[in-house]
């Protein structure tokens, strides 16, 4: 990012040199982070906008809790984008971990909405097939399918980024 550390520190490598894959990932995460702020704004200002299709807030406290959740998600995404020193292993870990938790949240909302549980008599794959068969809106597809796909893509980007770094290659060569 152009101003993350200032011009003098950029030359010394403070911000790191990002690959095209990291830059593309940061752009996607930036757009998603800004979207969360917009979603929170809509949540409070648009009449009848009470959360997502899968999670509907019923009172002020739930509305506040949901707003806190989406603002925190947006802030975490923006932290990944603006982190000084480049993208570290910890940055990737928090980004991926956040999206794993987000995916679990949306799937638990879908289980509750469709009155389903996962147990010995209804294995995970059967429940997933049933829920995916009941999806009726693009919002549901985005949160139930898009978040896991994003998580997988972020994991792949992290693996490519971290394994292509010269410092890791040098460690591998020293071990052999």
pLDDT digits (tens, 9 = 90+) for 41-64: 988 888 777 777 788 888 889 889
Residue 176 lies in a domain: no
Q: What is the pLDDT of residue 69?
A: 92
**Confidence tier at 168 by pLDDT (50, 70, 90):** low
Residue 90 lies in a domain: yes
Residue 174 lies in a domain: no
Q: Is the pLDDT of residue 119 over 80?
A: no
Lookup result for tokens 């906008």: 49
How far is CA 13 from each of CA 80, 89, 159, rounded to the nearest angstrom? 18, 17, 22
Residue 171 lies in a domain: no
Domain count, the chain: 1
Residue 11 lies in a domain: no
Residue 2 lies in a domain: no
Structural domain boundaries enclosing 81:
19-163
Percent of the chain past pLDDT 90, that is, above it, reads 44
The rounded radius of gyration (Å) of the Cα atoms in the chain is: 20
φ/ψ of 78, rounded to 5, equals -65, -30
- Within 8 A by CB and 6+ apart from 91, the residues are 80, 83
Residue 99 lies in a domain: yes
Residue 137 lies in a domain: yes
């Amino acid at each position: 990012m152009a101003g993350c550390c200032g011009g003098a520190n950029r030359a010394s490598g403070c911000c790191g040199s990002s690959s095209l894959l990291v830059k593309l990932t940061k752009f996607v995460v930036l757009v998603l982070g800004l979207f969360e702020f917009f979603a929170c704004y809509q949540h409070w200002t648009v009449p009848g906008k009470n959360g997502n299709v899968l999670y509907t807030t019923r009172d002020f406290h739930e509305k506040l809790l949901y707003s806190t959740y989406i603002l925190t998600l947006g802030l975490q995404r923006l932290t990944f984008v603006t982190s000084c020193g480049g993208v570290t292993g910890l940055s990737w870990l928090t980004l991926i971990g956040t999206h794993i938790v987000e995916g679990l949240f949306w799937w638990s909302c879908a289980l509750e909405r469709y009155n389903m549980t996962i147990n010995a008599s209804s294995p995970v794959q059967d429940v997933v097939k049933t829920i995916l068969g009941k999806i009726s809106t693009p919002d549901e597809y985005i949160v139930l399918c898009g978040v896991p796909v994003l998580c997988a893509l972020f994991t792949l980007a992290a693996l490519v980024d971290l394994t292509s770094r010269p410092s890791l290659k040098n460690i591998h060569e020293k071990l052999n």
